[in-house]
A and B are shown apart, each in its own frame.
Chain A
Amino acid sequence: MTKTPFIKARAVSKTYIMGDQEVHALRGIDLDIAQGEFTAIMGPSGSGKSTLMNLIGALDQPTSGHMLIEGHDLSTMRPDDLADLRNRTLGFVFQQFNLLPRANALQNVKLPLRYARHRSIDADARARECLELVGLGMRMDHRPAQLSGGQQQRVAIARALAGNPRIILADEPTGALDTKTSEDIMDLLGRLNASGITIILVTHEPEVADFARRQIHFRDGRIESDTRRPR
């Protein structure tokens, strides 16, 4: 079964200039990710995993090469269009959850819907739906400080889901969680993937990576291996 690739990296390089020193975070990456794939990116610290995630997430631009999402070259898009793309197509899950501390779970999940343009979404209903989906229907008015780490990460996943994204980018989503909680989170991501959402995940833990059918290993800014597990 071949799917049309809808995330494409072509000769993508990212070089940071630190004083008079150049740090080559990515050295000419070519990568295709098809719709509906569940991909885990692994590799040693500093090998460029987060850098690639930021480029796919339209948060940053490559030094050279092209990053395409659904056929759109990100380097040619205006900042506002990139913001709309992030709002509409992408969902982010961070290692440190990044919830607003003063807002409760429901308000946190509604946050991306504030920025939804040209779409009429009943933000409240949609946010409740997403929280139900991640199993937090009973915790909607809890603030982050009143939730466990795993629950906070589920709120963050609900937030990523709120805008109905086609891609979820999760950079070490289980990095701050224990094994049991990590498994719950991965089960959740697996279910989301089963519903058709493309998931790209960065992790250091092989058990976590095993939830993904495709595993890409990075080393020193290059792809070292790219393997698919049969269904």
Chain B
Amino acid sequence: MKLSVAIASAIEALFANMLRSFLTMLGIIIGVASVMTMMAMGQGAKARIDAQISALGASTLTMRPGARRRGGRSLGAGAATPFTEADVKVLRSLPFAHLVSGQLNSSVTAVSGQTNWSTSLTGSDESYFAIHDWKPTQGRLFNAREVRSGAALAVVGKSIVKNLFDGMDPIGQRIRINNVPVTVIGVLEEKGQSSFGSDRDDVIIIPLTTARNRIIGAHPTTPKNVSRIELMVADGYDLKQAQNDLGEFMRERRHIKAGADDDFMVFNIADFIRARAATQSTMGVLLAFMAAVALFVGGVGVMNIMLVSVTERTREIGLRMALGARGSDIMVQFLAEALVLCGTGGLIGIIFGFAGAWVAAKTGDWALSISPQITLISLGAAVAVGLFFGFFPARRAARLNPIDALRYE
């Protein structure tokens, strides 16, 4: 008997018992919807993490003075010797360094006309923008010459435009940062929230020298200090390897004895975000568990109803055998019914899965991403359940003795 014929008659048989078929499908529907939501969530979360990583620089190492926290005790950054512009210069000559930028950060109050705004100030060199792949939407960025000369210029994020200039064009406008006047020359493209929930567009970026000399002030013992160095690893170099090499290089440069703790830290932002994302996946685990339970319960339901169906139709099976059906024909017939049951449940489940994924995307604030693979895998799960739990009832039907089946009351 052809499979298409078997499936057609299976569909007919299921329609004959519509309510029962639907109730049987319920578990499969829930299971498949969960599988789908789970996978869409996983994919959406991964896409978001990847976006965050690439926004922060997938190949960027960040270095700060200070020891790694251990035993609850932390040597503050102030306790360790800060990095300097000289460090930045030397690091630029390392083979694996594509771009290196030194930075100073501070919280400041910015004033434009009558408006005050508390924001964060970053003093940096021109490499900063390239490392962060951050382009201006209006005006321009400052260049190396302006960094050297300590020009009183500022590039601002979108939130500054909104909060300090009420959305008006800020190019050429003056703002006073902690009473130091600077001229806005550029507005940066929007980056949105960081994974930590802070507004990445709420920044003012000015040349490093300007920030140190006129606003933040130099370190008491280390002139030309920077509070942080970012290093973008050149193409073709392994990030982990570069992270190690950079650490080694700095230990040597800072004369740290073998066995002594580092007095600085090298971060790999990508690792950091991934580690954080891993703790967020509990929801995914929960859904996976729910999907498995629902599919299992659904499968047992299918098996139960198939066993009932085999018993109800024992005489029909006997008749078919008398007409020449082989055991395998009967097997195919009942497997087809289990498959159609689960497949239909799977299709309905996929519809609910889309809805679930959509809700998850809304609440989780990421783009809805349902790939054809996800849909296929979900349907595949349903079909697999159908095959697995349909097998036993189908085999029972196939093994019936023709005369016993035919005379069954």
Contacts and interface: CB of A to CB of B under 8 A. Distances in A.
Given A98-B315, A100-B316, A115-B1, A59 B325 contact: no
Contact of B322 (A59, A84, A114): A59
A1 to B, nearest CB: 32
A87 B402 CA distance: 13
Contacts of B87: none
B325 A54 contact: no
Nearest to A102: B16
Nearest to A91: B323
Task: From B324, B329, B401, B402, name the one whose CB has the most chain A CB atoms within 10 angstroms.
Answer: B324
Interface residues of A, number: 22
A83 B16 contact: no
Interface of A: 54, 57, 59-60, 79-80, 83-84, 86-88, 92, 98, 100, 102, 111-112, 114-116, 159, 163
Nearest to A160: B323
Nearest to A112: B323
Contact of A111 (B320, B328, B403, B406): B320
A87 B5 CA distance: 18
B327 interface: yes
Contacts of B315: 98
Pick the 3 closest A-B CB pairs, nearest first. A87-B324, A112-B323, A115-B324
A173 to B, nearest CB: 14
Contact of A116 (B319, B322, B324): B324
B324 A163 contact: yes
Report the interface size class on chain B. Answer: 20 to 34
Given A102-B12, A114-B1, A115-B329, A86 B324 contact: yes
Given A54-B403, A60-B402, A60-B403, A112 B326 contact: no
Given A102-B12, A114-B1, A114-B5, A57 B327 contact: no
Contacts of B324: 83-84, 86-88, 112, 115-116, 163
Task: From B1, B5, B326, B328, name the one whose CB has the most chain A CB atoms within 10 angstroms.
Answer: B326
A159 B323 contact: yes
A115 B403 contact: no
Nearest to B321: A83
Given A54-B403, A60-B403, A86 B322 contact: yes
Nearest to B316: A100
A3 B315 CA distance: 37
A92 B406 CA distance: 12
B403 A92 contact: no
B16 A115 contact: no
A83 B326 contact: yes
A112 B328 CA distance: 15
A115 B323 contact: yes
Contacts of A116: 324
A85 B315 CA distance: 20
Given A114-B1, A114-B5, A59 B406 contact: yes
Contacts of B329: 83, 114-115
A54 B322 CA distance: 10
Nearest to B329: A115
Contact of A79 (B319, B320, B323, B326): B326
Contacts of A115: 1, 320, 323-326, 329
B161 to A, nearest CB: 72
B294 to A, nearest CB: 32
B403 A83 contact: no
A54 B404 CA distance: 11
Nearest to B325: A115
Contacts of B5: 114
Given A79-B326, A98-B319, A115-B325, 10 more contacts: A59-B321, A59-B406, A60-B401, A80-B327, A86-B323, A87-B324, A87-B325, A114-B1, A115-B323, A116-B324
B1 A80 contact: no
B18 to A, nearest CB: 13
Interface string B336-356: 000000000000000000000
A83 B325 contact: yes
A201 B328 CA distance: 30
A145 to B, nearest CB: 14
Contact of B323 (A54, A102, A111): A111
B78 to A, nearest CB: 85
A114 B329 CA distance: 9
Contacts of A88: 324
Contact of A92 (B322, B327, B401): B322
A54 to B, nearest CB: 5
Contacts of A84: 324, 326
A223 B326 CA distance: 33
A59 B315 CA distance: 13
A182 B401 CA distance: 31
Contacts of B1: 114-115
A102 B327 CA distance: 23
A87 B323 contact: yes
B326 A80 contact: yes
Nearest to A115: B324
A166 to B, nearest CB: 14
Nearest to A123: B5
Nearest to A162: B323
Contacts of B319: 98, 100
Interface string B393-406: 00000000111001
